[in-house]
Amino acid sequence: MMQKKGHAVIFFALLLAGMPAFSAHAADINSLGLANGHPCAAGELLVKFREGVSARAAYAVHRDLKVAEWRRGYNDICQIVSFEPGREGELAEAYNRRHEVMYAEPNYYATACSEPNDQYYRLQWSFPLINLPAAWDISTGEGVVVAVVDTGINPFGRDGFGSLAGNRLLWGYNAITGTRGGIDFNHHGTHVAGTIGQETNNRIGVAGIAYNAKLLPVKALAFHGGGFYYSIINGIRWATDNDANVINLSLGAGSDSRLLEEAVDYAYEKGVTVVAAAGNDGADNILYPAAFSHCIAVGAIQYDKRFAPYSNYGEKLDLVAPGGNLELDQNNDGYKDGILQETFQAFWIGWGYWFSTGTSMATPHVAGVAALIKSIRPEYGPDDIRRVLQDTAQDLGEPGRDERYGYGLVDAYAAVSHAAGR
C-alpha cells in the first residue's frame, strides 16, 4: 500500500511509551500522571537500592513505607513499586530519605518519535541522499547485531513469513512483561527495523541499510506505541547483555532520569553504540535518552537537505539523517516525501509499504551506518564509531558544527571508506 498525493491514508499518531505479585500493565495511557511537569505512570516509582542492600532490607523499606506491591527489573537493576495514585511526591521523598536507597524517581513516559502515514527501492530517496549504494560495495553489516528497542518487530509480511524473518531475526525480549519474545502489534518498530536491516536484493519490496546484520527485537513500547522508562531501561540493559553491538532508540521524552542514563552508560561501557531520536517538537530541546552524552542524538532533514520543521535541535544534537516531510513532494515522484518501509497499519491488517516521517525514521539511518562501520571494524567502540560518523558527515547549515544540523548529514560511503582505510 502506498499513498499518492491527494489520497490520504492516515496512521494514528504514535504515543510512545519471590516477592509480592506486581500488577504489571502495558503502559496504560489512560492512567498517566504528572511529575515535574512531565507525564509518568500514576501510582508508580522506580527505586534503586544501594549496592549490598539485601532483599530482606529492601523488603523492610517497602513495608515501612506501606508499599504493598513491587517487582524487580531485569538483573535487579532497579525495582518498580506500585501504590495508590496521589502519593508520588510523598513516597519519592520518603524513599530518598532512606539510607538504603540510592534514589527514587517517577516512572516517566516516553513516545515514539515518528509521524507515520502511508512501494520500492526507487522510492527510497533517503538512501542515495546518504551515499548508501556505494557503501554497499564495502560493507553490508555482516556479523553485527542491531537491537531495536521499540514496539517490537513483526516477522510476518504481505505474503506470510516475511523479509524481516529468517536467521537474521533473533529471538528477542519483551521488557514490558520480562519474558522472551518481542513481536510488534503497533507497526512502528517494524518500520524502524526495516530501514536498518530489511532483506535486500530479493527483487521485491524495499531495501535496508545493513541488510546482512542481525536484528534483535526488544519490546519496550506497548501496542499503542507508548512505554514507560522502566521498560526502556530494562530493554537497553537486556540488549546489552545479549550481544547487541548497536542499539536503536527511536523514542524519547522530555524527562531526565538517572536510571535511564545509567542504562545508556552501561551499554556504552560494554562497547555498545547507542543511537537515539532527537524528537519531533520542532524545538530547541533534545529529548531523552538522546540528550545523554553517551547517546548519538539524531535530528531529521527533508529531501532538499534542509532541516525538517518538526525536528528538535540544540547543542546536544550530533547528526542529522533523512526523516522526510509528508507535506512535500520535492523529488516529483508522485508521492509525499516520507521514509518508505514494509510494515502494517495495525494488528497485522493492511500489510504493505508505508511512508512515515520523523526523527524515528532518521535514527535508524544512523544506526544502520554504525552497523556498517562495526562490521568492517569489529574492534571499534562507541567513541570510535561516533568519531567516524562525525568526521565524515556532510556539513550542512553554518560551517562546522551547529545546533540544527550537528556535525552534518550522515554519509554512509564516506564513513565506511574511512573505516576501511580507503
**Residues forming the active site:** 150, 188, 360
- Please spell the DSSP secondary structure of 5-24, one letter per residue: TT----PPPP----------
Amino acid at 95: Y
Pairing of strands 251-252, 101-112: antiparallel
Q: Alpha carbon of 361 to those of 21, 34, 69: distances in Å?
A: 38, 28, 38
Contact assessment for residue 135 and residue 277, using Cβ atoms and an 8 Å cutoff: no
CA gap 277, 232 in Å, rounded? 14
Pairing of strands 160-161, 79-82: unpaired
Contact assessment for residue 197 and residue 167, using Cβ atoms and an 8 Å cutoff: no
Contact assessment for residue 245 and residue 34, using Cβ atoms and an 8 Å cutoff: no
Q: Which residues in 98-120 are b (16+ Cβ under 10 Å) and which e?
A: beebbbbbbbbbbbbbbbbbbbe
CA gap 94, 61 in Å, rounded? 10
